[in-house]
Amino acid sequence: MENSIKNISVKIQGKNSPGSDGYISLNSSHNVSDSVNLSSKVGVHSWWILAVVTALYMASYLDRFILTLVVPDVAASLGLTDTQMGLVLGPAFALAYAVFSLPSGWFADQFSRGMVIFIGAALFSIATALTGMVNSFGALLFCRVVVGIGESALVPAALSILAQKFPKDRLTTAVAIFSSGPKFGMAIAYMLGGVIVATSIFLIGRISFIEEVESWRLVFVLTGAPSLILGVLCLTFRGTKPAKNLKYKDHGDDAIRFIISNKMLFLPMLIGTGAVLICGQGLVAWTPSHLDREFRWEAISYGPILGIISLVGGGAMVVKGLIMDRLFNRGVTDIHLRFFTWLLFWTYPIAVSLFLFSDRILFSLAYAIISVVTVPCAVYPSIVIQMVAPATMRGRVFAIYTIPMIVIGGFGAPIAGAITDFLFYDQDKLGWSMAILMSVFLPIGLVSLRLSLPGLRAAIKNSL
């Protein structure tokens, strides 16, 4: 561990580091070797907070993605088209999450952050449970919007608490642990989600007072419970109120001016990552339905496989990071986007043909490759922003960039659904709809990201 920290310290202070405050350091303009103190003590309560918010982050992904496992049942029960399901799977959540991210951050700076997280968790857990009681498209859409609103409160408040509770030499570790929540949460959603679906079917067949309930309805009730319990545990957090004497001036215009001054980087990067995210979100939203329609594969069978693939994707991201670090230190300053374009180019034929495979094993192998490449696409611009943005405005630059990216990506599911409904008029053609989605938007993403490389090189040069 000590050697790892020394290596990080050397890498941040080296001549290739883009900025005086380091490559990925959370300590703005601090010498990492001076701030690292292996003897720093962190209280048990701080680790308790970290454990609870990380577990809640994972549970939120279960609430977010459980719907993808029961799309066929929900659509059949409510009489919904793929276009309607696409709106529910994509924009309903994404728009709400994006729009309420900024006010949620404001609440986290004004009130007890533990209470903010509890209210958010209560909202999205109850909305998830109520999803099992809806009888119309409008009600289903509303529940997904509330899930998005509730989940928007978790990240800003949790990160603020961790900054309060962990010293600077331990904060990076704490944030890294918390940030693993989405990767493992998605794996849990697939692996545990299949078990929940099977459990619901089992219970309905054996408990008399719910024997008339459709299994997918019970799935949502069971899924919402863990998040509510974890949300209540947030009320045990102590000392999470913002400092009352903290005074600051909002320099949001500075962040906007910085983005405009680097428009040759940010504009094509936004278009590129947004286009790829459309494919990634469509992939996540519609793969379970495709497995059901094409292969008659049940969630209890494919859930663990998709979960394992998600875990592999998390590990692969670490490997890709090591490769990019090495190439960056060798002078390839635009590697963090260039590397992604390499991946997109070489996997494009697999992406286009993925949903046309008639063998479930071939499909699973191809899906593993594509999901590792496309789903974590937001990581690359996140790294770029940390490298080129001044330390005093990284958070705001990241927020301004991320909100439209999330909104754009949220349209992946409805676009695929609309192609199925209005071009093919056949739900069994979902695979062809996804093939069209991939064949159109991945090239847009690839070309746009390549166009952003000169802007990235210039921004890196200015940050040195």
pLDDT digits (tens, 9 = 90+) for 209-242: 566 678 888 889 888 889 999 999 999 988 777 6
**76, containing H or E segment:** helix 71-78
Q: Can you give the pTM of this predicted structure?
A: 0.73
Do the domains 253-464 and 42-241 match in fold?
yes
Q: What is the pLDDT of residues 243-254, one digit of tens each?
A: 654 444 444 568
pLDDT the model gives residue 3: 44
- DSSP state string for 288-324: HHHHHHHH---HHHHHHHHHHHHHHHHHHHHHHHHHH
- Whether 79 shows a pLDDT value over 90: the answer reads yes
For 42-241, which CATH class? mainly alpha
User: Structure tokens of 437?
Assistant: 């989605």
At 325 the pLDDT is 79
Other Cβ atoms closer than 10 A to 6: 13
At 118, phi and psi to the nearest 5?
Answer: -60, -45
Across 65-79, 274-288, 387-401, 416-430, least confident range: 387-401
According to CATH, the topology of domain 253-464 is Growth Hormone; Chain: A; (1.20.1250)
Domain residues of the chain, as ranges?
42-241, 253-464
DSSP class of residue 428 equals: G
